[in-house]
Amino acid sequence: MTTTAVRDRGAVGVGGLPSAWGLGLRRGALEIRQFFRQRDQVVFTFAFPVVFLFLFASIFRDDVAGAGITASQLYVPAMMAAGIMSTSFQALGISIAVEREEKVLRRLRGTPMPPTAYFLGKIWLVLFTGLLETVILLLVGTTVYDVNLPSDAGRWFDLAWIFVLGITACALLGIAISSVPTSANSASSVVVLPFLVLQFISGVYIAIGTVPDWMLTIGALFPLKWMCQGLRGVFLPESAQVLEQAGSWETGRVALVLAAWCAGGLVLCLLTFRWKDRREG
Amino acid sequence: MTAHGYDLAVRVRGLRKRYGDVTAVDGIDLGIRPGEVFGLLGPNGAGKSTTVEILQGNRDRDSGEVSVLGSDPATGTRAWRSRVGIVWQDESAPAELTVRETVRHFAGYYPRPRNPEEVIGLVGLEAKADSRIKALSGGQRRRLDVALGVIGGPDLLLLDEPTTGFDPAARRQFWSLIRALADGGTTILLTTHYLEEAEALAHRLAVVAKGRIVAEGEPGALRERYGTEALVEWTEPDGTPRRERTGTPTRTIAGLMRRFDGEIPGLAVSRPTLEDVYLRLTGQRQEDAR
C-alpha cells in the first residue's frame, strides 16, 4: 500500500530509529493534549495576561501627550509581549522543573528518544499556546481598546517574525532556567521573580518614558524589551515613535537581538540542561 | 563469542563508585548470561541501585569495566538504548494521559516495538487501558512501568526494586508477569531486598552488602552452602548464656553432655532459615555474625 510506505519512510530515520523531527511532532501533539487536560492551568495561563491588560488599560487610559495614542493602546502590544513570554518562559521554566522532580525526564532519558525531540515537542507546545494567547489579546485589544489590526502585509509579516523569534528565544530561556531551581516547589518563585522584574523594566507595566535609563539598559539585555518595542511598531501609528528611547522602533535591531537570543538560548540549554534533579547528582 | 558479539549480556569487573566520603559500590563483579534472570539481593543502601543505574547508562562510575549487551553504557547510543528496557525504582509517567496513549506513544520511540495492545494485556491493564494514569493504584502504576520497560522489545530488562510497596497478592501477580517475560527469552536483572522474591524469580543471585558481593550462586546452592550451620544455645553453670554456630551440632552437644551432669540448662538447637542466612551475610544481624 502506497500510503503506508510513504508514512513509514517519513517516520523512520537512520538505522531504523524513528527520526528526531518525527518524534518531535509526536511529542508536541502529546504535550498539547496533556496541557489542555489540566483545566486550571489552561484557564490561568490564558487569563493572566488578559486580566492584566484589562486592569492596566482600564486604569490608565488618558491620551499620551504628542504621540497621538492613548495609554490603553500602549498596553495592548505590551501585554501581548508579556503573554508570549508567560506561555513560553514561565510555563516551561516551571513545568520542566516539575517534570524533572517527578522523574518524567529521567524516564525519557532511558528510552531511545533523542533529546532534540523533547525540546522540539516543547517548542510546538508553546507555539500553539502562545499563538492562542496572542489571538485572544488581539481580539480584546481591537474590540475594547481601539487598537487596529496591522494595516499592511509588511506589518503582518513583522508580527509573524517577532512572534516566532520572541517565543523561541523565551522558550529556550525557560528551558534553561528550569535547571536552576533545586526543587519543583521553588520553581515558581525562581521563574516568576525575574519575569516580573523584566516586565517592569522592559516597558510592559510602566511606560518606558517613566523607567530610569539604567533599568532600561538592563532590560535591553533581554528579549522582552525588544518584543514590546517590535510589537508597538506593528500596532501603533507612526506618531507614537516619539515615545521610544531611540525615537524609532528599530525593527532591524529587534530582529537582530531576538535572533541572537535564539542562538544564545540554544547554546545555554545544551550546556546546562539536566535530566536528573540535583540531589541525584 | 556468540552471534550478538558478546558472551554475557552484562559483564562487570571491579566496579567502584563513591559519593563524597561514602563508598556505594566497592569492587563488584557480575556476569549475567543471555536469557538468565539474575537477582541482586541486598538491604537498602547496599549499592544495588547505584549498580543498576550505572548499567542503565544513567550514572557515571569511578572505575571498573562495564559491558551491557556488548557496549559500555556510559557511551550508550540510541540503538543501544532501544535494546535495554528499564523499570525504575520510583516511577512517574505523565498523569494526565491514559494507559493506552502512554504505551502507544512510548512504542513510537523504538525501531521495532511490541504491539501496545498486547503489552497492555501482558501486564494485565486491559480494563484500565482508557483510564488516566493519575487514577491508577500504586500496583497498577508499577505494571504500567513494566509495560513501558518492555514496549521496545528489549533484549535486557533492568528492574530496580519493582515490587517495593506491593501487597502480597500484587507481588505474586507481578512475579508471574516477570516469569512470563523470562520464558519469552528476555534477560532480566532484578534488584530486590526481599529474599523471597529473589528466590522465587532468579536463576542465580548475588547478595550485596556495603558495596560488595558477599555470596553468589543459585538460590538452592546458597541455602545449602550457608544454611546448614545450626545454632546451639545453652547456659553455663555461672549463668552466662552461650551460643555456638556449627556445622556439626551433634558433636557440640556430645561435648556439652560430657561437661554437664544431666540436663544442659537452656539448651536449644535451631536451624537458620534462609532469611537468617541472608541477614547474617548482609551484616544486618550483627550479634549472630560470629
Q: Which residue of A has its CA nearest to B56?
A: A110
Inter-chain touch A17–B79, beta carbons under 8 Å: yes
The C-alpha cell at B96 is: 494526565
pLDDT over 50 (residue B290): no
Q: How many Å lie between the alpha carbon of A16 and the closest alpha carbon of chain B?
A: 5
Please report residues of B whose CB lies closer than 8 A to that of A23: 108-109
- Tell me whether residues A37 and B58 touch, CB distance under 8 A: no
**Are B58 and A114 a contacting pair at CB < 8 A?**
no
By CB atoms closer than 10 A (0-12, 13-18, 19+), residue B44 is exposed
At A14 the pLDDT is 46
Average pLDDT over chain A reads 88
Query: What are the pLDDT digits (tens) for B69-87?
Result: 999 999 989 999 999 999 9
| Overall fold of domain B35-60+74-224 | Rossmann fold (3.40.50)
Residue B251 or B219, more confident: B251
- At A221-255, the pLDDT tens digits run 999 999 999 999 999 998 888 888 888 899 999 99
Q: Which residue of chain A is at minimal alpha-carbon distance from B60?
A: A281
Mean pLDDT of chain B: 87
Looking at A65-74, A171-180, B247-256, B266-275, which range is the least confident one? B266-275
- pLDDT for the residue B221: 80
Cβ neighbours of residue B245 closer than 8 Å, sequence gap 6 or more: B229, B230, B231, B232, B288, B290
Give the pLDDT confidence of A88-128 residue by residue, as tens digits: 999 999 999 999 988 889 889 889 999 889 999 999 999 99
Estimate to the nearest angstrom the gap between the alpha carbon of B112 and the chain centroid: 28
ipTM of the complex: 0.84
Q: Give the rounded percent of residues in chain B with a pLDDT score beyond 70.
A: 93
Please tell me if residue B109 touches chain A, with a CB cutoff of 8 Å: yes
Domain residue spans of chain A: 17-280
Question: How large is the average pLDDT for residues A21-48?
Answer: 92
Residue B1 has pLDDT above 60, yes or no: no
Banded pLDDT at A173 (limits 50, 70, 90): very high
Range B242-271 average pLDDT: 87
Grid coordinates representing B43? Answer: 538491604
Closest CA to B191 of B167, B158, B156: B158
Query: Model confidence at B3, in pLDDT bands (50, 70, 90)?
Result: low
Percent share of chain A, pLDDT over 90: 61
Q: Which of A30, A38, A281 sits opposite B105 (nearest CB)?
A: A30
Quote the pLDDT of residue A158: 96
How many Cβ atoms from other residues are within 10 Å of residue B21's Cβ? 5
As a whole-number percent, the residues of chain A with pLDDT over 70 amount to 93
Angle between helices A115-144 and A39-59 (to 10 degrees): 40
Contact across the interface for A12 and B111, Cβ inside 8 Å: yes
Look at residue B223 and give its three-state secondary structure: helix
Task: Provide the 10 A C-beta neighbour count for residue A209.
Answer: 13
State mean pLDDT over A269-280: 79
Q: What pLDDT, on a 0 to 100 scale, did the predictor assign at position A7?
A: 36
CB contact under 8 A, A110 and B86: yes
pLDDT at A217: 93
- Say how far residue A176 (Cα) sits from the centre of its chain: 13
Confidence grade of residue B276 (pLDDT, cut at 50, 70, 90): confident
